[in-house]
């Protein structure tokens, strides 16, 4: 590595990434939505490019980045309960209201998308720390890979560059595309069959 060989960013996986049987959850913020929207679109495009069926991509929004881990965990848990046959039979017997048919769980991976931009107070530091730890915990506690799709930027322009909507000639790179690929790769992670 070094010199001209240096490849900035993630190298493509050597595995075949076939997402045709996957169900993916995207939770995104409404804070900084002008920058969040292209990131969500980038993630969806890449999921579909890997074969994920549009009807198997469920998208939900929350107010801000601080809400991302709690919302992702809640929706992942709901999708796991919905696919549990025993609890379905109990629900039928008790006539419990069903979750929407749209959530055809369980999700195989989730992507949390948001944009934090540093202001003049310590708010940014507290939220970034809580959200990054929270999203990691969701993935480990639910056993559903949960991708950290949160930009933590010092300026608006840094965030726009990372959403592929930078000003000027260089629009930057849409990180949402990488997050879609990461979700498929992590959802398909298996030991080889013997
Ligand atoms: C309050 C706040 C601030 C100052 N900045 C951002 C931000 O840059 N990006 C973001 O997604 N959310 C921000 N929030 C909102 C918090 O994440 C959260 O929604 C509120 O504190 C309510 O819990």
Cis before 163 (ω within 30): no
Number of independent structural domains in the chain: 1
Number of CB atoms found within 10 A of residue 193's CB: 4
- 157 in any annotated domain: yes
- 154 in any annotated domain: yes
Residue 123 bears catalytic tag: yes
In 3D space, the residue among 187, 186, 163, 183 whose CA is nearest the CA of residue 175 turns out to be 163
pLDDT along the chain (194 residues), means of 10: 69 92 98 98 98 97 98 96 70 63 79 97 96 98 98 97 95 97 97 81
Pocket test for ligand 1, best of 28, 29, 31, 71 (most atoms within 8 A of CB): 31
Q: What is the ipTM of this complex?
A: 0.99
Q: What is the pTM of this model?
A: 0.90
CATH number of the domain where residue 75 is located: 3.40.50.960
- 192 in any annotated domain: no
- 91 in any annotated domain: yes
């Amino acid at each position: 590595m070094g010199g001209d060989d240096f490849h900035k960013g993630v190298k493509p996986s050597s595995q075949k990434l076939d997402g045709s049987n996957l169900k993916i959850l995207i939770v995104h913020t409404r804070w900084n939505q002008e920058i969040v929207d292209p990131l969500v679109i980038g993630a969806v495009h890449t999921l579909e490019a890997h074969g994920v069926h549009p009807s198997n991509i469920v998208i939900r929004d929350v107010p801000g980045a601080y809400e991302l881990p709690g919302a992702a965990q809640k929706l992942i848990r709901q999708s796991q309960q919905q696919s549990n046959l025993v609890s379905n039979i109990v629900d039928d017997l008790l006539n419990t209201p069903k979750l929407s048919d749209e959530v055809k769980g369980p999700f195989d991976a989730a992507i949390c998308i948001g944009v934090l931009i540093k202001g003049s107070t310590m708010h940014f530091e507290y939220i970034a720390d809580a959200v990054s730890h929270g999203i990691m915990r969701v993935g480990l506690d639910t056993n559903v890979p949960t991708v950290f799709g949160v930009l933590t930027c010092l300026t608006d322009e840094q965030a726009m560059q990372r959403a592929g909507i930078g000003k000027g000639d260089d629009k930057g790179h849409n990180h949402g595309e990488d997050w879609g690929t990461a979700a498929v790769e992590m959802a398909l992670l298996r030991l080889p069959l013997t």
